[in-house]
Chain A
Amino acid sequence: MPHISRRNMMKITGALATSVAAPAIIKQRAFAADTIEVGALHDSSGSHSIYGKEMDDAVKLAVEEINAAGGVLGKQINLSAFDTGSNMQNYAQFAQRLVTSQEASVVFGGVSSASREVIRPIFNRFKTLYFYNTFYEGGVCDKNTFVMAETPAQMISPSMTQLIKSKGIKRIYTMWADYNYGYICSTWLEKLAQEHGAELIEKEFFPLDVTDFSATITKIQDAKPDLVVSGLVGGNHIGFYRQWPAAGMLGRIPVHCTVFGPWEKNLLQASEIEGLTTSYHYYQPIDSPANAAFLDRWAKRFGADHPEIGTLAVCSYNAVNIWKKAVEAAGSFDREEVVAALETGIGFDGPGGHMKVHTETHHAVMPIALAEVRNGEFKIIDERKDVEPDDTVAVCDLIANPDLSTQFQP
């Protein structure tokens, strides 16, 4: 579809159209030359706020640090951070505001995949560079969009390879949230399990509002798998992590969770989740000088008693810094020049290690950690460097096909 063709439309709306053209000139807002407009869209309230809040905070922290260090190309960043309140309509509304009256030169944000698919077309239409920083189902292939977060290949491959090998797992029972993320991740896991000689004996899908998992817990016991993989998502599905130990199953069959960060962990008792495994780019307990320094700054900014943060905060923080480095490399805020600079594989040493842009897919190459819950804390039990987003690499090449703007499904 061609981008917005106001001119063509004006021809046909005739007399009305002439009156439309004038305000475009009147409305032009003059921005001070020493600032650059940047937008952020995160759910700081509503049902997704357990994820969105730390992302919003992370972008704010990154921007404040950059401004304190002199800004980007000598300009101070003027950040417009909107709270989208876990409501898709707000995403559409605020995204349109950012690209029109605000004239943002880059926008960071989107929490759920649904929200990303609402705003991604808007940023394309209005030619505004966009960064999405939430782990997701993979496959987005868009010249204008950069994803600085984990895809299934990154979250699942290293951790499952490690688990299957170390525990000799053959039969895997899987349960997923009944939406896009669940379907794509399950397909990816199936492929991966086959490669390692294991099989998925069940793929069960649960609507997001299901709270009672007793039927499934019975089915799992009948099936006697070597491993349970949970791709359950959101507040209602937390019920599983309570009902599983209540049925006396904790520790009897190992459970690996594809969506389980500090956001979920802190809603549960330590005794309910002992031994669960999970895998992301970043966990707060990662032991490194860079992380210690980062946590220090985070605590100074948001208070020493801030909630435990996770990979979402760090991916968002990295994304802002990667954008800054790209602008400086390009020597310009021009969208096409910044995209070209990003495609050179610009990287940043973040709290979770070195993250860099993957040229063909606009995704990120990053270290991945496998963690196990022990006494209510994440304990890192395995780490891999430079994990690539293989699922998206297999389908997306933006250097060969720069006009793509789609999300591939496996």
Chain B
Amino acid sequence: MIGRLSIDGQMLAVVTLSTILLLILPQVFEIDTILQLTLNFSFSILALSLAFVWGYAGIFSFGQAAFFGIGGYAYAATAINLGDSTPAIVAGVLVPTLFAALFGYFVFYARLTKIYVAVITLVMTLILYKFMGQTAKPDYMIGNARLGGYNGIPAVPPINVPGQPHLFAGPDEMFYIAGFSLLAVYVLLRWILGTRFGKVIIGMRENEKRMELLGFDTRLYKLLAFVVAAAVAGFGGVVFTNWNAFIDPHVFQLAFSAQPIIWVMIGGLGTLAGPILGTFILSTLSLELGVQKALDVNLLLGAIFTFFVLLVPQGIIPTVRNLLENREAAASNKTDGTTESRG
């Protein structure tokens, strides 16, 4: 299946198709479906950040949701203080990036093993949850924005036309902004993976020793991959905070940090489309279960997740792809190589 089109051709097809879909969907669906899709776009950006750092750089980070949350908080605090969303978006990406650089320095330059990185990023998330939860005291202010402890920051201003705070986005506009943001992040990550940097981190995932012997400073490359993923997650947090107009510490909670991991695992590790698919399937499932209440959401998510780790460790997209390729291979064997080579 892959390689039938050139990489550029594939990309062009994805972009065109997505654009058409994004333009058509709001005409077809009710407003609450549009709102739900917008939320899923922001979650998909979060999933992509983990897909990148875990699926390609091989770093299992429990902390992507934390960067997502930091991005959301940074956006909220800046937007409330300045009343304009443009610098707030920049802050929402920049603050988690810097935070990840500092934190990642401690982790990767200590050469901690994969398991330890997993646990330490988890601990970081727990610290943030604790810290943000105890900021209810009126002295915890960033300018005019009260951090508000467990209650979080309410009434966050939505994205507006740069310099014109009174022209701000409604639900339909947010749908387009979130949708095209997701598309842009997808294209950006695809592009990064095609560069030399991208090839180095994939090489590192396959065999860290080898890359080191080849003269690459793997500590630095890991840190860079970690930072890029944090920036992407932070941007997802900006879109998310826009969607619900508030941000609170639940984004640092274990249950929330769990979600991107499940999405990526189920959609397919080592792909970008898979995690987006996983996000849409599972967050829709969670919502519907929440409404119907026949089954506990955690129960089902846990069961699905364990099932995938044990029996479908590659996730949906790679498994389906393998099945198709095998069938094609079988077909081309039967016809004794008469079909053209698909390279």
Q: Which residues of A contact B (CB under 8 A)?
A: 1-2, 4-6, 8-9, 12-13, 16, 19-20, 22-23, 26-27, 45, 82-83, 85, 87-90, 92-93, 96-97, 100-101, 112-114, 117-118, 120-122, 178-180, 182-183, 205, 207-209, 409
Contacts and interface: CB of A to CB of B under 8 A. Distances in A.
Contacts of B150: 114, 179, 208
Nearest to B169: A9
A182 B136 contact: yes
A13 B138 contact: no
20 contacts: A1-B168, A2-B166, A6-B172, A8-B166, A9-B161, A82-B291, A85-B290, A88-B244, A89-B244, A92-B245, A100-B32, A101-B32, A117-B151, A121-B154, A178-B133, A179-B149, A205-B136, A207-B134, A208-B150, A409-B138
Contacts of A13: 173, 176
Interface in B111-145: 130, 133-134, 136-138
Interface residues of B, number: 44
A1 B250 contact: no
B293 interface: yes
Given A13-B176, A45-B293, A178-B136, A93 B36 contact: yes
- The 9 A-B pairs at the shortest CB distance, nearest first, are namely A117-B154, A92-B244, A114-B151, A179-B136, A100-B31, A97-B32, A179-B149, A6-B170, A20-B172
Nearest to B177: A13
A306 to B, nearest CB: 19
B26 A20 contact: yes
A2 B170 CA distance: 12
Contacts of B244: 88-89, 92-93, 118
Contacts, number: 128
B142 to A, nearest CB: 16
Nearest to B292: A83
Given A118-B154, A179-B149, A207-B133, A27 B30 contact: yes
A8 B172 contact: no
Contact of B166 (A5, A89, A93): A5
A178 B154 contact: no
Interface in B160-202: 161, 165-173, 176
Contacts of B167: 5, 8-9, 12
Given A27-B30, A183-B138, A117 B246 contact: yes
A90 B255 CA distance: 14
B152 interface: yes
B323 interface: no
B254 to A, nearest CB: 12
Contacts of B166: 1-2, 5, 8
Nearest to B297: A85
Given A19-B23, A88-B248, A183-B138, 6 more contacts: A6-B170, A83-B291, A117-B246, A121-B155, A178-B134, A179-B149
B275 interface: no
A183 B136 contact: yes
Given A23-B27, A90-B290, A100-B171, A113 B137 contact: no
B23 A83 contact: no
A290 to B, nearest CB: 34
A9 B151 contact: no
A171 B168 CA distance: 53
A88 B250 contact: yes
B326 to A, nearest CB: 40
B287 A93 contact: yes
A83 B296 CA distance: 13
Contacts of A112: 151
Contacts of B134: 178, 207
A313 B172 CA distance: 37
B39 interface: yes
B148 interface: yes
Contacts of A409: 138
Contacts of A9: 161, 167-170, 173
B301 interface: no
A22 B26 CA distance: 10
A341 B35 CA distance: 34
A88 B293 CA distance: 17
A366 B168 CA distance: 41
Contacts of B148: 179-180
A349 to B, nearest CB: 34
B157 interface: yes
A374 B178 CA distance: 57
Contacts of A90: 290
Contacts of A96: 31-32, 35, 171
A22 B28 CA distance: 11
B154 A183 contact: no
A179 B293 contact: no
Contacts of B27: 19, 22-23, 26
Contact of B248 (A4, A23, A83, A114): A114
Contacts of A87: 250, 290
B59 to A, nearest CB: 27
A114 B172 CA distance: 26
A71 to B, nearest CB: 26
Given A19-B26, A209-B133, A83 B149 contact: no
Contact of B155 (A2, A19, A26, A117): A117
A183 B137 contact: yes
A100 B38 CA distance: 15
A114 B151 CA distance: 4
Given A2-B166, A178-B134, A12 B23 contact: no
Contacts of B250: 87-89
B35 A93 contact: yes
Given A8-B166, A183-B136, A114 B152 contact: yes
A119 to B, nearest CB: 9
B32 A180 contact: no
Contacts of A2: 166
Contacts of A12: 161, 167
A116 to B, nearest CB: 9
Contacts of A20: 26, 172-173
A182 B176 CA distance: 41
Nearest to A11: B167
A101 B149 CA distance: 32
Nearest to B39: A93
B81 to A, nearest CB: 14
Interface in B229-258: 243-246, 248, 250
Nearest to A100: B31
A63 B168 CA distance: 37
B136 A180 contact: yes
Contact of A27 (B31, B130, B149, B169): B31
A82 B32 CA distance: 14
Contacts of B176: 13, 16
